[in-house]
Structure formats: C-alpha cells, structure tokens
Structure 1
Amino acid sequence: MDCGPRLPAPSTPAALALAARCRSAAGPDRPGGDLYDVLLTPNGPRLIIGDVKGHGPAAAPLAATVLDAARPTATTEPDPARLATTLDARLRPHLDAEDFVTLLVADFHPHEVRLANCGHPPPLHITRRRLDPLTPRHPSPPLGLDPAPRVQRIRLLPDQRLLLYTDGLTEARAADGTFFPLDSRARAALLAPTLDQALDTLLDLHHQHTRHTPAAADDLTLLLAQPTSPDRPY
C-alpha cells in the first residue's frame, strides 16, 4: 500500500514491534490526507496518527503541514495532551474556517500506553478474548476546533496489541450500506502470528466487505503495535 506524507521515521524502537499500511484515495504513489509518524522520545516510543478534512491529493498539503508543525516538539514534549494543544496553536494560521484535523498521540511506557485523542477514531485494544475500542471518557474536538484532550492511561502487556487507524477502515461500506464491522473475524485477523500478517488479513476482510461497491473513496492508514520488552527501560 502507498503512504501519504509523513516525516522520515526512525527505525521502530526495540521495545515496540510495529507494522503499518496506508493507502491514498487517489491511488498508488499519490499522497492523501492521512498522516502518521513514529518517534522516540526520552520517555519511550511515540506514535502519531491523524486525518485532515478531505482526502486524496487535495488534502495532502495540510497533512504535510501538520507533520511539519509537530516536528519541533514531538520528540521532546513529555505530555501527549500538551503536544496536541501546542500543535493546534501552531496549525491555526494554516487552517481555513472549515478545516480540522483529527489526531491521536500514543506514548508507550512499560506495561501501559498513554493516549491523547482529538476527535480521532478510538484505537483498538486487542487481547486473546476481546477487541475493545478505547473511547476517551472526556472526548475532545479535533485540532482547529478548540481541542482539550485528557491523557488516557491503558494497561498494555506484551501479549496484547494496539491498532491505530483512520476512518477509512470503519466507514467503508458494503453494497448494502453496512459499515465494516469490528467483529470476531476482525479480532481473529488482528491476532495473526505476526503484525504484518495481521494487517494483511484485516485488509483482505476490508476488501471482501467493499468488493461490490465502487473503489474506496477515502484514505486509509493502519498502525499495529505490540510491546516486546516491558521490563526493560526504553
């Protein structure tokens, strides 16, 4: 799958395994409105995923602007919620009245992940028995609409996974209009032996769901993470 604009990412930190897939609505080798980055902060690995209003090439410049605005403090700001509000302030001069950006920051610490969610689809906590959307108790608007995120702390063990995604996953429709379901088949896919196999199997399900509808009209990004060494300092 082709990727939209993002900063050059360092190698995934040794304490976090990661697989990524992304697709632009405009097709291969054309940027879209989804964005993500993989960073290493003094406190551990950090993932950023976002989705600007619109899709395809028309949305790509704003997606690139978001990542450029994040660059000065994304590796040094310890608080993911404060990073989101700082980024909102930096973006305001670049946003038109109707522009907005959904954003999720995920910081990985030993035994837990800390989330700051600004209007983004809730990540999925994947265990052998459950597939739980981590909906924030205090929802925040997206960037550009006065976000006020609060840090959400979730226990995450090495036999568990976390899926970050954009709404191109869950808003994909079948021919009868039903949305792509996050059901037992999706959970089984996400528990495949490797992270890459998990995402490929999930995408196969996604394709089966939409195969009788017109070509996907939205960008899609998937990040699947799993801690590997929870007892070792990052």
Structure 2
Amino acid sequence: MPIKKDNEVLGAIELFTDAEKMDADMSLAIRIQESFVPQNTENIEFFYRPSTGLGGDMIYYNPPWVGIIDISGHGIAAALVSMLVRTTLDTIIAFDPPLQGLPFLLENELKKFSFQNIYLTGVIGQLSEGVYRFVNMGHPSPINVTKKTLIETKNVIPVGFGFSEEYDESVINTHNLNDGNLLLYTDGLTEIKTKSGMLTSQGLLDILSPNDTTSTIYLKTLHLRAPGLQEDDITMILFKK
C-alpha cells in the first residue's frame, strides 16, 4: 500500500500473513481426497490428477459398482461436493437399486442441498464377469482402447439440472471386455490445450495404442500439451480383459 503526500509516493506499507496453518490444512485435505482414489486391481487401473491440489473429479469404486464422475467447477468447492456425492452414492447403493434408476435417485438426494449452478456428469455401472453395464449421464463417450474406437452410448441428462427421470432399462449400455479394453475419462483429458488447439476425442484416439495404460496415456498427452499449467482435472479408469 503506497504512502503518498501531494500525490508523491514517499514509501509503502506491506502486510504479511502467516500462511503455515492454512498450508497445513490444505495439505491434509489433499491427502484425504487422494486416499479415496482406489488401488489398482488386476483388471482395473485408476488415475487421478487434479488441476489444483483439490479437484471435482471423482472415482467411485464399491464392487461391483464402479464409475467416474465430473463435478462442475474446480478447487475446494467442487472437492466438497464430490465427497457429498460419494456419500450419497454409498447410501443409494446400499439399497441395491436398479442400474437405470441411479440418476433419478441421485438427483432426488442432491435436491435436498439446494445447490445452485452445480451439476455432474458421469459414467457409472457394474462390472461382473468381464462385462461392464453402465449408464452415461451426459459424460464423454468411453473409448475401446484395443480397437481405438469411440463407443457411441445411450445418454441420459446430467444430474443437477432437475430433469432426471425414472428411466427404463433401455438407457443401459453394455461393453464386453473380450471386445477390447475400455477407457473412461473426464473431459480434462480431451480438452488439453495443444500447440494446434484442443486435443479432442479424435486427437486422443490418434495417440492411443492397444496396450496403453493410464500412465502412458497421460504421458502421451503431456508431450502434446502447450506450455502452461494443467487447467482441468484429469481422471481415468481403464478396464482390462
């Protein structure tokens, strides 16, 4: 803050705040969120890299239920919402709901909290005997990594807009891992800024190899990314035969 007399700057006052406690709290919050990222299994790889210390992406793993969810926004607020969504999903799934009923049940539960301008997209389902049955709530389409193809899915409306319905079984998508490894990802991956523009789903397909892991996919995108910070959370789940 400048000190002036007759519009002439004579000096300045600078104020400092001890941020050690704030930094310690943030570090703890980051470790807590990271602890909810599941460990890899023989058939599933999990990958999570938030754009800041905390993120709104979420991996849900409660076998046989598994999926990926992207909360609108970034940072602390989105991270808090993701924890609430995780708890809400645990409660809903404890009652063994039909798969097609999950978006409507989740919408109804989140209405109780009166969030404004917050919504979520996601792919969530059940993995059993090498077959993944899932619903797509307005999320980027999964990719068959082995065949390097985008899987066209039947989508329902993202949760949070208040338009979710009691859907029937026609909204359920099915992928047999005998047909290829399946990649779920958040749009932070395909919206990476490269020197020639946004990466896009097609750009991602172009760099994939049949034997890719989540780590090799991330490293490939790093090589393409334009200089600067990662602007969005990047989260992936890879189902392997």
- Aligned-residue identity in percent: 23
* Stretches (4+) displaced over 3 A: 2-13
Q: CA deviation at 1:34?
A: 0.3
Q: CA deviation at 1:93?
A: 2.2
Aligned to 2:61: 38
Aligned to 2:111: 92
Q: State TM-score, norm by structure 2.
A: 0.75
Q: CA deviation at 1:85?
A: 1.7
Secondary structure at the aligned position of 1:115 is classed as strand
CA distance in 1, matches of 2:100, 2:34: 20
Q: CA deviation at 1:6?
A: 7.5
Deviations 1:153-186 (A, max 9, x none): 23321x7211111111111111232325123421
Q: CA deviation at 1:126?
A: 2.6
Question: Is the contact between residue 56 and residue 71 of structure 2 (CA under 8 Å) also seen in structure 1?
Answer: yes
Aligned to 2:66: 47
Q: How does 1:1-234 map to 2 (within 5 A)?
A: 5=33, 8=36, 17-26=43-52, 30-40=53-63, 45-74=64-93, 76-127=95-146, 130-137=147-154, 139-145=155-161, 146-148=163-165, 150-157=171-178, 160-180=180-200, 181-186=203-208, 188=209, 190-192=210-212, 198-210=213-225, 212-227=226-241
RMSD after superposition:
2.5
Gaps of 5+ in 2: 1-29
Opposite residue 168 of structure 1, the aligned amino acid is G
Q: CA deviation at 1:75?
A: 5.1
Instruction: Call closer, same or farther: CA 1:9–1:98 in 2, change over 3 Å.
Output: closer
Q: CA deviation at 1:52?
A: 0.7
Secondary structure at the aligned position of 2:228 is classed as coil
Q: State TM-score, norm by structure 1.
A: 0.77
CA distance in 2, matches of 1:4, 1:179: 31
Q: CA deviation at 1:92?
A: 1.4
Question: Is the contact between residue 88 and residue 106 of structure 2 (CA under 8 Å) also seen in structure 1?
Answer: yes
CA distance in 2, matches of 1:3, 1:135: 36
The structure with the largest helix share of the pair is 2
Deviations 1:36-67 (A, max 9, x none): 12112xxxx22121011111223111111110
Instruction: Call closer, same or farther: CA 1:11–1:19 in 2, change over 3 Å.
Output: closer
Q: CA deviation at 1:97?
A: 3.2
Question: Is the contact between residue 177 and residue 239 of structure 2 (CA under 8 Å) also seen in structure 1?
Answer: no
Deviations 1:103-134 (A, max 9, x none): 2113123352211011111111232xx22222
